[in-house]
Amino acid sequence: MERSLALLLPLIGTLAIIHIVQAQSQQGFISLDCGLPANERSPYIDSNTEIQYTSDATFIQSGKTGKVQANMEDRFLKPYSTLRYFPDGIRNCYNLNVEKGRNHLIRAWFMYGNYDGHDNSPRFDLYLGPNPWATIDLHKLENGTREEIIHIPTSNKLQICLVKTGETTPMISALEIRPMGNDSYITESGSLKLFFRIYLTESKNYIRFPNDVYDRQWIAFFWREWTQISTTSDVGTSNHYELPKAALASAAIPTNASAPLAIEWTPPNPNTQYYLYRHFAEIQDLQKNETREFNMLWNGDVMSSDPVIPDKLDISTFYSSSPRTCDEGDCNFQLKRTNRSTLPPLLNALEVFTVIKFPQSETNETDVAAIINIEATYGLSRINWQGDPCVPQQFRWDALNCSNTDASTPPRITSLNLSSSGLTGNIAAAIQNLTQLEKLNLSGNDLNGTIPQSLQRKGGLQLFRHGNPRLFPSESPTVSTGKSFPVVIVASVASAAILIVVLVLVLVLRKKKPSTVQVVHPPPSRPTMNVPYANSPEPSIEMKKRRFTYAEVMKMTNNFERVVGEGGFGVVCHGTVNGSEQVAVKLLSQSSTQGYKEFKAEVDLLLRVHHTNLVSLVGYCDEGDHLALIYEFVPNGDLRQHLSGKGGKPIVNWATRLRISAEAALGLEYLHIGCTPPIVHRDVKTTNILLDEQFKAKLADFGLSRSFPVGGETHVSTVVAGTPGYLDPEYYQTSRLGEKSDVYSFGIVLLEMITNQPVIDRNRRKSHITQWVGSELNGGDITKIMDPKLNGDYDSRSAWRALELAMSCADPTSARRPTMSHVVIELKECLVSENSRRNMSRGMDSLSSPEVSMVFDSGMIPRAR
């Protein structure tokens, strides 16, 4: 059945603004310049598309970097002139975080550019998880090629793998992931592989982001038997597909008004299945006696029982609920006027996809997480431990066996052989999460401690542990050891008795002389954190599922090797968990001004709040006098650095500042109205707004945060805490804390982003930033207030509006301050205004011709007839 997707219920007000802001701000975009060295300027803004690209170095653990030959650089845009190639291993995989169950546009670019000087274009396979996606053959594609699909991931991890199939070396130039709306590009089954995407115009302009909010690439296409019609009026595009307005501002009609408008192509094989998405908008002023009405035909058959009558200056999209095939020979799509129509048919834009099936289920998510955790715990580095652990079978990880079920059932890990692997320390706790394990070989290592009872009592598990002289069962074992190891019952009982006596003595001594009992820890490579408040009377943290031991913290940070920051809490070290997930480990130092109470408050809060604009807590360590918080790693540092340019950080432009402020405001809004009870951050400042690899803002440092008691109170009385300059003066005077205290601090942050002035400057005539801005406002010249590093590149309306908003947030009287929900709406409208200015100044200039040619190098070009 054909479905018309003409917009019946127009989007209004805030909803429309939210969608535009999120898309144009690249929220959720992953844009990897593959092969860009991590120490070069990353991220950077591509001048042609305004897309922010980052190095791929943190998303893959293998490969080498290269660059197209110098005499060929001009033929490729910047993101595609560098590349990563893979001389080692058969399968090399990128690991990306995505949103499970959401439609994503996934695009990979391949430009050989004779980077190796061998003039030998590669041929290899591309996989999405465990399933084949495409074969890349660059032999006749001098300008390179790309592969694009629209796909719904079945987990929050997306693996894109390059697989060597012959003598040549796989390589990749760029990876681009774009989250999309779930109400578009709906299929009966499978994913959509792009065949071609065109808009009908005689112009040569090439459309993608920012004109297309999803960064789809539209190729201008026209045929000599057609006539172009166009409009300068605004065409409505707000259906689920959100087409760029430029793609609908023109259309083709047959020059012979009685003839059909036809497009045909030759399928790669006769069984290929197609989905067609047809976009129409009436862009001519019809007279009262004029009618445009036509039928759509597929290989001569009418596709819908009702003819198409395009809506005036508004998009209508049609698609089939089931895929179509071509009976034989060419595929032919026609638009044919009805008998009552006085005007010929028109077509504005057309997308054609083939159906691609991904039948093989990924390995069970719990098993995958467990094996990655085991890999990280022991620091294993094996070239083939990439991609899905179990499937396809020819790429199964070394040392594993998996259940072989039908493709629709996720495989399970049934055997793990880590013998003679140089393992030390305790048995990794994650091994116990491999619940279908039947055989575990740990022999020939240097493991110590006791074997978890769950492994000893697991029915049917063969456990091999010989060659680990310091590894003992926790009780009389019932496991196979792989050799004849007599169990000396008397010795076991005696050991148990001694252990019991020792424990009793320790408990008695602790009760009588608590001050004399000391816990001795082996010294790490850095000074231990012997903090005096480790034995704080604060109740212990109840949530245990994300708790790490101190040994695990040392392991994940490689003995605190890389320090990435330092604050009032202590040093922050870089680490890795689960083999690939980067983390920031914040260690509580002895000299810290924060204590166990703040530590516990932050853990408790972050374990129960989840928002894309809040730094997420991976785990924590609360072991004796060792306290640590393990966060997701946010690689681009804090906002303050990107205003000052400190450490070589790039200065962010006005649009990016507005987006960052809107995202930080969304995080605060969630704390204020999305949490029960509400939460006040209490320490909002530019150094507590972190930026991830896509420059998305994430609020951090919740050690001072407080919840309101249940019962409708609008404030609580607390000991005043916060950072001078950002501290709400009303809260400082009354000790009465409320959400508006955060609003004040956010207003100061916004003033910093606007002016790039210090919050407090004793050398300034007006030392506090609010006073300085207030005095400058009397002159009415905003250029004297705006950050000079912006070089005047901003929309003055959005600047004035943001400035007025900041001053209202920083009003000394809390009752006159707006709510964070109002702040969010205002900032999004500022961003819409700024993006409109940028789009207008940029115009519809086409991108360089080489990129356009790459799109059709596959030979899949539609033909008019």
Q: What is the pLDDT of residues 111-154, one digit of tens each?
A: 999 999 999 999 999 999 999 999 999 987 878 999 999 999 99
Apex 551 CA angle, 545 and 557, nearest 5: 95
Per-position b or e across 660-691, b if 16+ CB within 10 A of its CB = bbbbbbbbbbbbbeeeeebbbbbbbbbbbbbb
Where do we find the tokens 């991976």?
A: 618
Can you spell out the DSSP letters for 288-311? TT--B-EEEEETTEES-SS-B-PP
Phi/psi at 96 (5° precision): -125, 145
Nearest residue to 630 via CA among 682, 572, 681, 687: 572
Per-position b or e across 189-224, b if 16+ CB within 10 A of its CB = ebbbbbbbbbbbbebebbbbbbbbbbbbbbbbbbbe
Angle between helices 820-842 and 654-669 in degrees, nearest 10: 160
Question: Which residues have CB under 8 Å from 184's CB, separation 6+?
Answer: 103, 240, 241, 242
Fold of 365-490: 3.80.10
| Token pair belonging to 486 | 């007599």
Q: Are 242 and 248 in contact (CB under 8 A)?
A: no
Fold of 195-356: Jelly Rolls (2.60.120)
The band of 675, judged by pLDDT with boundaries at 50, 70 and 90, is: confident
Is 336 known to sit in a ligand binding site? no
Cross-strand partners of 31: 176
Chain segment 431-470, per-residue pLDDT in tens? 999 999 999 999 999 999 899 888 886 677 999 999 999 9
Is 466 exposed, middle or buried, given 0-12, 13-18 or 19+ CB atoms closer than 10 A?
A: middle
Chain segment 605-655, per-residue pLDDT in tens? 777 777 889 988 888 888 888 888 888 888 888 999 899 877 677 889 999
Q: How many angstroms separate the CA atoms of 668 and 673, rounded? A: 9
Q: How many angstroms separate the CA atoms of 542 and 562, rounded? A: 30
CATH 2.60.120.430 describes domain 20-189? yes
Q: Identify whether 392 is preceded by a cis peptide bond (ω within 30 of 0).
A: yes
What is the average pLDDT score of the chain? 83
The band of 24, judged by pLDDT with boundaries at 50, 70 and 90, is: low
Chain segment 258-280, per-residue pLDDT in tens? 999 999 998 888 889 999 999 99
Q: Are 619 and 585 in contact (CB under 8 A)?
A: no
> Taking residues 246-267, what's their average pLDDT?
95
The band of 567, judged by pLDDT with boundaries at 50, 70 and 90, is: low
Nearest residue to 659 via CA among 841, 830, 808, 838: 830
Write a three-state SS string for 195-234: EEEEEECCCCCCECCCCCCCCCCEEEECCCCEEEEECCCC
- Pairing mode, strands 191-200 and 219-221: parallel
Nearest residue to 153 via CA among 195, 210, 95: 95
For 638-865, which CATH superfamily applies?
Answer: Transferase(Phosphotransferase) domain 1 (1.10.510.10)
Question: DSSP class of residue 831?
Answer: H
Chain segment 725-760, per-residue pLDDT in tens? 999 998 888 888 889 999 999 999 999 999 999 999
**pLDDT over 90 percentage in the chain:** 53
Q: How many angstroms separate the CA atoms of 492 and 471, rounded? A: 14
Q: How many angstroms separate the CA atoms of 742 and 700, rounded? A: 14
Chain segment 781-829, per-residue pLDDT in tens? 899 999 999 999 998 889 999 999 999 999 999 999 999 999 999 999 8
Phi/psi at 459 (5° precision): -65, 135
Cross-strand partners of 226: 254
How far, CA to CA in Å, does 71 sit from each of 76, 81, 92, 108, 169? Answer: 11, 11, 29, 24, 22
The whole-number pLDDT of residue 4 equals: 34
Count other Cβ atoms within 10 Å, centred on residue 426. Answer: 17
Residue count (the chain)? 865
How far, CA to CA in Å, does 68 sit from each of 112, 734, 857? Answer: 7, 64, 18
Q: Are 84 and 34 in contact (CB under 8 A)?
A: yes
Cross-strand partners of 707: 679
CATH 2.40.170.20 describes domain 528-633? no
Residue 694, helix vs strand vs coil: coil
Is pLDDT at 713 greater than 50 in this prediction? Answer: no
Domains of the chain by residue range: 20-189, 195-356, 365-490, 528-633, 638-865
Give yes or no on whether 20-189 and 195-356 have one common fold: yes
Nearest residue to 22 via CA among 150, 209, 175: 209
The whole-number pLDDT of residue 588 equals: 80
Instruction: Give the residue numbers annotated as catalytic, written as ranges.
Output: 683
Q: How many angstroms separate the CA atoms of 7 and 314, rounded? A: 8
Whether pTM > 0.85 for this model: the answer is: no
Q: How many angstroms separate the CA atoms of 611 and 700, rounded? A: 12
The band of 15, judged by pLDDT with boundaries at 50, 70 and 90, is: very low
